[in-house]
Structure 1
Amino acid sequence: MKNILYFLGAFIILAFIHESLHAVIAWAYGEFDSFVVHFYGFEVVYKTPVNTREGIQWGFISGTPNIVTVLLGYLLFGLRKRIAGATAPFFRALGFWLILLFLVADPLNLSIGPFIYGGDAGGIVKGFGINLYLLQVLTFIIFLLNRELIARKLLPDFGIKTRHPLFVPWFQNRKTQKTA
């Protein structure tokens, strides 16, 4: 039960940071209207309706939070041994879930999200004029690489052992291949 609470806490922190960045950047471009808290999460409401949005600013408004959260994930990943060694179980567990979510949530959101609900990918595509499928493929590759980091480094550093196919390394390193 505690683990679910740590996961939910990390998810709320991720969502708050992500949506707050949308709000701050939208405010900088004069597009921020309101910040709404729903039972299912946070929402930033913009002044310009979706169907009339034009310009590169929408790429920045939509894309920056995704980049920042993944970069925060890499920063925390770099600190994973310190976090894993924390004596306070609260910081250890919350840190684990923050690292995991920051590494995979937004790459998954940008790669799979457009098939289900649209999301930030639409603003990135419209603002920067890039191909949606290219964005989805690139962010899915980032998701897979980050998943491999989690399986190879994060889980072992936190003493988590599993044989579940989603959480074991999919690729062998060269040293392992030569000795096998």
Structure 2
Amino acid sequence: MNKYTVLSVTLFALAFPTVAQQHVHGQGKMLIAQQDNTWHVQFVLPAINVLGFEHKPETQEQHKLVSEITTKFMNHTSVLELNGDCTLTHTENSLTEHESHDDNEHDAENEHHSEEEHSSHQHGDIEVEYIYSCQSKVTQMSVTLFTWINSLTSIEAQWILDKGQGLTVLNHDDPVVAWL
């Protein structure tokens, strides 16, 4: 885990302790942390809304869908746009570990996966993380994933910035979080 992830996770755990515990279909979470020129944005989205299922992909069609969605997540502008002069420095999502999983592994080998890993996948959330280095002021972020995830009705956006913290709810009609 890189130092920005550790910082952001620590900040979110202190400020928003129940974020990871909630799982409601149609409703996602967006967590934003800023430290100087570094911006960390994390989404927690219900898998049912992103993929149409909450289990590991089982069919060829489901594997193809996971691959397509993973590609969309890697193209950060299909998920999020910042209005500052920013460069994406890191991205990851929880789908990549499942996409590269070899389904021909022996079942006994799969039993050795930790209980925590198994239960987090069964929870049905997909996590997507972006870290940006910004050379100018960021005053807003637009959530573009609403354009291709129609069944996602809202995203609760929470932030901790150098100037303070806040919370708002974003949706298809109002997908922008802004600061003065």
Superposition TM-score, scaled by structure 2 size: 0.29
Q: Which has the higher strand share?
A: 2
Larger Rg: 1
Of structures 1 and 2, the one with the larger relative CO (CA 8 A, separation 6+) is 2
Superposition TM-score, scaled by structure 1 size: 0.29
